[in-house]
Amino acid sequence: MYCPKCLAEYREGFTKCADCDVELLEGKPPENEPAYIDLVTVFETPDPAAFAVAESLLQAAGVDYVVQNEGTENIFPQLGAMQIQVHSAIAQKAHDILKDVDKEPPHDE
Ligand SMILES: [Zn+2]
């Protein structure tokens, strides 16, 4: 049994939440939403060198990030570029850090 309002768990036999005065629901309270739902892609490149630069900048700034598709570009080109994702709350900060990184490999003119 659990309270749908404050998500407190109750033993069998209780029918109302003592704190909220609302009817309890059967079962377990729902888990908190996993954090990855709020991830935002802030950097995307097919170039491993640019990717490494972006990673080192984020590490230097103490920004937590996750990597998608790392190392797969040669094996599964259809998956596209490697991506760096951060939590939406720090997406703007990450954008600012990464805005000057070249995303494309240098071209011979
Ligand atoms: Zn409650």
> Over the chain (109 residues), what is each successive 10-residue block's mean pLDDT?
91 92 89 66 88 94 86 55 88 93 67
Confidence at residue 36, expressed as pLDDT on a 0 to 100 scale: 47
Same domain, 45 and 71: yes
Same domain, 39 and 25: no
Q: How many structural domains does the chain have? A: 2
Report the 10 Å Cβ neighbour count for 107: 5
Same domain, 52 and 79: yes
Rounded distance from Cα 27 to ligand 1 centre (Å): 14
Confidence at residue 28, expressed as pLDDT on a 0 to 100 scale: 83
Domain range for 26 is 1-31
- 91: domain CATH number is 3.30.70
Same domain, 26 and 40: no
Same domain, 9 and 56: no
Q: 104 in a domain, yes or no?
A: no
Confidence at residue 49, expressed as pLDDT on a 0 to 100 scale: 87
Same domain, 44 and 62: yes
Prediction pTM value: 0.55
Select from 41, 34, 31 the least CA-distant residue to 65. Answer: 41
Rounded distance from Cα 4 to ligand 1 centre (Å): 7
Q: What would the two tokens of residue 37 be? A: 């739902």
Q: What is the pLDDT of residues 29-44, one digit of tens each?
A: 877 655 446 888 999 8
Rounded distance from Cα 30 to ligand 1 centre (Å): 14
